[in-house]
């Protein structure tokens, strides 16, 4: 049975606020300077939200300990984190054959070439997905080397499939591959070398 690899995702709490912030990001990049919106007013309202959040901010050290507790690392990262408005956010299923897969559709904030995904955004999604595939396979590590090959433009506005699978573990060296495909055609492929170590979590 495929298994949902995500930690609990909610529509309330910080997840709901992050989802709303994601809408704001998309709408701002869509607006540019040709929208009829009053951007000074929009800026004032967003700065007021930031002021209120900053006034209630926990100490950085407390938040670092909190965010790395339990499944915390899957809640705040810039690829899958429901708490992080930068993240699309990717959500994976893990398959019994050892692979993982996510389906995602990206909009203007992730643009590189016209109407296409930025090559660096593809790199971000693949680096993270290879790491999650290592976790699914049972042996995780830190990225030591990552090679990306760009075969075709990766389209915005349509479903992309992001997949990865651990290929081998040789001592501390982990090798993992992945791809981003559109309509069944691989647009970007990745090979990663990971080293089985990880820095300690803040406590």
- Interacting positions 126-185 with a second copy (CB under 8 A): 126-128, 142-150, 153
Interacting stretch for a second copy, rule CB under 8 A, among 83-91, 96-104, 163-171, 173-181?
A: 83-91
98 binds a second copy (CB under 8 A): no
Among 188, 170, 171, 82, CA closest to 130:
188
Interacting stretch for a second copy, rule CB under 8 A, among 95-103, 124-132, 162-170, 179-187?
A: 124-132
Rounded to 5 degrees, φ, ψ at 3 are -125, 135
Interacting stretch for a second copy, rule CB under 8 A, among 9-17, 95-103, 164-172, 178-186?
A: 9-17
Q: Are 110 and 156 in contact (CB under 8 A)?
A: yes
Q: Return the number of the residue (56 or 96) whose C-beta is nearest a second copy.
A: 56
Q: 3-4 and 142-150: which strand pairing? A: unpaired
116 binds a second copy (CB under 8 A): yes
Q: Return the number of the residue (3 or 39) whose C-beta is nearest a second copy.
A: 39
Q: Return the number of the residue (36 or 96) whose C-beta is nearest a second copy.
A: 36
Q: Return the number of the residue (1 or 73) whose C-beta is nearest a second copy.
A: 73
Over the window 16 to 55, marking each residue x when it contacts a second copy by CB under 8 A and - when it does not, the resulting string is: xxxxxx-xxxxxxxxxxxxxxx-xx-xxxxxxxxx-xxx-
7 binds a second copy (CB under 8 A): no
- Which stretches of the chain are DSSP H helices? 13-31, 39-55, 60-67, 73-76, 119-137
What tokens does 26 get?
A: 């998309």
Q: How many CA atoms lie within 13 A of 39 on its CB side?
A: 10
**Binding residue for a second copy, selected from 98, 111, 140, 186, defined by CB under 8 A:** 111
CA distance 26 to 86: 10
**Binding residue for a second copy, selected from 7, 14, 167, 196, defined by CB under 8 A:** 14
CA distance 173 to 104: 30
**Binding residue for a second copy, selected from 135, 155, 186, 202, defined by CB under 8 A:** 202
Q: Are 107 and 28 in contact (CB under 8 A)?
A: no
CA distance 184 to 199: 37
């Amino acid at each position: 049975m495929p298994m949902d690899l995500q930690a609990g995702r909610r529509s309330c709490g910080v997840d709901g606020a992050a989802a709303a912030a994601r809408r704001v990001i998309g709408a701002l990049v869509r607006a540019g300077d040709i929208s009829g919106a009053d951007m000074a007013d929009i800026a004032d309202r967003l700065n007021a939200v930031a002021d209120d959040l900053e006034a209630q901010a926990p100490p950085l050290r407390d938040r670092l300990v909190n965010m790395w507790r339990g499944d915390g690392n899957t809640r705040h990262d810039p690829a899958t984190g429901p708490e992080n408005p930068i993240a699309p956010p990717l959500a994976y299923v893990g398959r019994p054959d050892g692979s993982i897969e996510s389906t995602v559709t990206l909009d203007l904030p992730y643009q590189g070439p016209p109407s296409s995904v930025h090559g660096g955004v593809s790199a971000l999604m693949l680096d993270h997905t290879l790491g999650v595939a290592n976790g699914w396979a049972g042996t995780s590590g830190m990225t030591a080397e990552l090679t990306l090959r760009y075969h075709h433009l990766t389209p915005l506005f349509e479903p992309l499939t992001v997949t990865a699978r651990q290929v081998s573990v040789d001592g501390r060296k982990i090798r993992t591959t992945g791809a981003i495909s559109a309509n069944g055609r691989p647009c970007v492929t990745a090979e990663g070398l990971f080293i089985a170590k990880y820095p300690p979590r803040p406590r």
